[in-house]
Amino acid sequence: MTVRKLQQKRGWAWNIAVPIIKPLLLATTRQVWIDGDRIPETGGCILVMNHISHVDPLTAAHIVYDHGRLPRYLAKSSLFKNRALARFFTAAGQIPVERLSKNAVGAYDAAVAAVGNGECVVVYPEGTLTRDPDLWPMVGKSGAARIALATGCPVIPVGQWGAQRLLWPYAKRPSLFPRKPITMKVGPPVDLSDLVDQPHTATVVQQATDRIMAAITALVEGIRGETAPTERFDMRKAGVRPTGNPHRARNKKERP
């Protein structure tokens, strides 16, 4: 496994986080990283990956950090409601997203600016934890595609599997031991070259989104040794809530 030396200055937030989180991850997980050297050493880029656990931003940060980059995430705005956490996340370069809101355009602008400044931005194109019953990648949202088309930067797909064993989606307690294998496979850049110079219509953005999700899904198939469903899970068609625990309402009695 190739490990690169970090070239960027970490800043105080990363100086606090790394000595705490990295030893915890090393104690509770086993890293199986495939083709991590495909993460660009320098320059603006977007890493796109499937979302299977609330802890996978930490395991994803691990592979990105150990390949010489500081990841910047598009993170849900609720994480920034606490002043101390907001100060910490902001110092770490994380970008708040107000999901299902017109204010989400601010996150888009910030992400485009970050890529333009040569930073590595991590995006979960599904927009939330997968609702697929077998944890396959769902239908993607347009954010990653729009950032990519606006900047022309490399879009690096990552398929991951294993974080759900550490913390199942919406579980309250992690399963820390024995150590869980975390597999991440980095693919070649998604080819969007024929779309970048076209008008960024809804059709073009959808084509880019479909290519991104296809690349991620192929990587996950390779890791799992299984074939994904022909049709990706669509929250709208399934009538599943797009935020929060989708099972919570079912587990509570309806009030009259």
Residue 135 placed within a domain: yes
The pLDDT, as a whole number, for residue 38 is 97
**Rounded-to-integer distance, Cα 79 and Cα 108, Å:** 17
Residue 18 placed within a domain: no
Backbone angles phi, psi at 149, to 5 degrees: -70, -35
**Rounded-to-integer distance, Cα 184 and Cα 52, Å:** 12
Backbone angles phi, psi at 60, to 5 degrees: -70, -40
Q: Which residues of 117-140 are buried (b: 16+ CB within 10 A; e: fewer)?
A: eebbbbbbbbbbbbbbeebbbbbb
Residue 249 placed within a domain: no
Backbone angles phi, psi at 51, to 5 degrees: -120, 110
Is the pTM for the entire model greater than 0.85? yes
One-letter amino acid at 77 equals: S
Residue 19 placed within a domain: no
**Rounded-to-integer distance, Cα 121 and Cα 209, Å:** 16
Q: Name the domain count of the chain.
A: 1
Residue 25 placed within a domain: no
Residue 236 placed within a domain: yes
Residue 81 placed within a domain: yes
The pLDDT, as a whole number, for residue 255 is 32
Residue 1 placed within a domain: no
pLDDT averages per 10-residue partition of the chain, 256 residues: 82 96 96 96 97 96 96 84 90 81 73 95 94 97 96 98 96 94 98 96 97 98 98 94 72 36
Contact 166, 176 (CB under 8 A): yes
The pLDDT, as a whole number, for residue 243 is 77
Q: How far apart are the first and last CA of the chain?
A: 58
Length of the chain, in residues = 256
Count of CB atoms situated within 10 Å of the CB of 204? 18
The pLDDT, as a whole number, for residue 103 is 54
The pLDDT, as a whole number, for residue 1 is 63
CATH number of the domain residue 132 falls in: 3.40.1130.10
The pLDDT, as a whole number, for residue 40 is 96
The pLDDT, as a whole number, for residue 118 is 96
The pLDDT, as a whole number, for residue 242 is 79
Q: Which of 163, 112, 98 is nearest to 135 (CA)?
A: 163
Domain with 123, as residue range(s), is: 30-243
Residue 161 token pair: 């599997």
Count of CB atoms situated within 10 Å of the CB of 182? 26
